[in-house]
């Protein structure tokens, strides 16, 4: 018979409920009306972009794509709490945060299409390319945060990971380094309940993922990941703490992805019930936040239409630009991969060029 030690229940941060009502006015962020509206604009834009990207993927116009609908509050609220000097280390689903942090949308589409220019982040944009390897970005994030600490820069690194990624060895290694050296690192776990098709309870024994922070000697926080204001508040507090030299934070945002894990053949109907999906859709982050803004008189149908038009135009323009970008060549790909070209590969490229000349 196994014996489990008693565990401490963590708090759960929420600012607005499903009806858009403020749970505690003292929890509202101290930001302007314009900033409140910007959160809505970016969430709505992201939802519309996601819908278009899913259609394009099915039509073969995009390559790899991981849907984001349902997780907009966790994504937009967290990025909004940063300054542009802070650094984002995304996983494969975290393209919206990277784009809102400066990564050009057309390059995000090129990334989806497998074009090397997609990952050539512009100078001054503090984002790394989305990490496909599960959990690997946490180690990199600890390194970025350590660089900030050594340089005595008031900057933070924010790394994103899913619930399943918290079971990876890289996750624990990066967290441990951050805890030992009190690095200015924030790790945001977007707990969307399923690591692809595996529910949380089948891939980790801990009931609250934020408790994994304790093993690294850092603070763990749980937030309503469908509440953009709760996510904003949690990340803003972690940023302030990190820049004050008070160490790293692990934030667990409880959220839900409405669509498949990726558009590469996953069918969520095989492992999720209709009732579960309906329950989470009733907590929709955009509907909830729209209700909140309506009570304040800060959002109108005209505001909604403007965002819809902007999203339609800008997303289409980004795809058009991506399609017009010069195709990759094997020579360019290899030259970016190696500082010194291997002899065997150089010979192959010479033979390839010779064949083209003969033709």
Give 349's DSSP letter.
H
Is 338 an active-site residue? no
Is 160 an active-site residue? no
Indicate the SS3 state at residue 170.
helix
Catalytic option among 257, 283, 288, 290: 257
**Long-range CB contacts (< 8 A, 24+ apart) of 326-330?**
327/115, 328/115, 328/116, 328/117
Catalytic option among 101, 115, 222, 261: 261
- The label of the residue with tokens 């209709």 reads 274
H or E, element range at 238: helix 228-243
Asked whether the beta carbons of 160 and 71 are under 8 A apart, the reply is: no
- The label of the residue with tokens 């519309």 reads 48
Catalytic option among 271, 272, 281, 321: 271
Is 271 an active-site residue? yes
Residue 264's CB: how many other CB atoms inside 10 A?
A: 11
The span from the CA of 158 to the CA of 140, in Å, is: 11
What are the structure tokens assigned to 179, written together? 């805890």
Indicate the SS3 state at residue 131.
strand
User: 346: buried, middle or exposed (CB in 10 Å: 19+, 13-18, 0-12)?
Assistant: middle
| Residues with catalytic function | 257, 261, 271
């Amino acid at each position: 018979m196994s014996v489990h030690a008693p565990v401490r229940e963590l708090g759960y941060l929420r600012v607005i409920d499903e009806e858009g009502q403020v749970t505690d006015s003292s929890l509202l962020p101290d930001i302007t009306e314009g900033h409140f509206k910007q959160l809505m604009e970016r969430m709505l834009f992201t939802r519309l972009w996601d819908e278009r990207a899913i259609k394009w993927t099915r039509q073969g116009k995009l390559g790899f794509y991981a849907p984001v609908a349902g997780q907009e509050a966790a994504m937009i609220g967290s990025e909004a709490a940063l300054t542009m000097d802070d650094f984002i280390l995304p996983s494969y689903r975290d393209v919206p945060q990277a784009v809102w942090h400066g990564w050009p949308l057309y390059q995000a589409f090129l990334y989806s299409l497998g074009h090397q220019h997609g990952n050539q982040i512009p100078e001054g944009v503090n984002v790394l390319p989305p990490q496909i390897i599960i959990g690997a970005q946490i180690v990199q994030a600890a390194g970025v945060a350590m660089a900030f600490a050594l340089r005595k820069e008031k900057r933070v690194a924010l790394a994103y990971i899913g619930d399943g990624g918290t079971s990876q060895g890289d996750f624990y290694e990066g967290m441990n380094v951050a805890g030992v050296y009190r690095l200015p690192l924030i790790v945001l776990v977007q707990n969307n309940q399923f690591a692809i098709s595996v529910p949380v309870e089948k891939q980790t024994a801990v009931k609250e993922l934020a408790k994994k922070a304790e093993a690294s000697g850092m603070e763990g926080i749980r937030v309503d990941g469908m509440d953009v204001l709760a996510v904003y508040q949690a990340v803003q507090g972690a940023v302030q703490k990190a820049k004050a030299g008070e160490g790293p934070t692990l934030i667990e945002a409880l959220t839900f992805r409405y669509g498949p894990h990726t558009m590469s053949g996953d069918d969520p109907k095989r492992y999720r019930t209709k009732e579960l999906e309906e329950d989470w859709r009733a907590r929709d982050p955009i509907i909830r936040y729209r209700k909140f803004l309506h009570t304040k008189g800060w959002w109108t149908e005209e505001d909604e239409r403007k965002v819809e038009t902007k999203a339609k135009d800008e997303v289409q323009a980004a795809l058009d630009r991506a399609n017009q970008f010069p195709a990759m060549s094997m020579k360019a790909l290899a030259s970016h991969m190696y500082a010194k070209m291997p002899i065997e590969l150089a010979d192959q490229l010479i033979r390839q060029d010779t064949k083209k000349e003969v033709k």
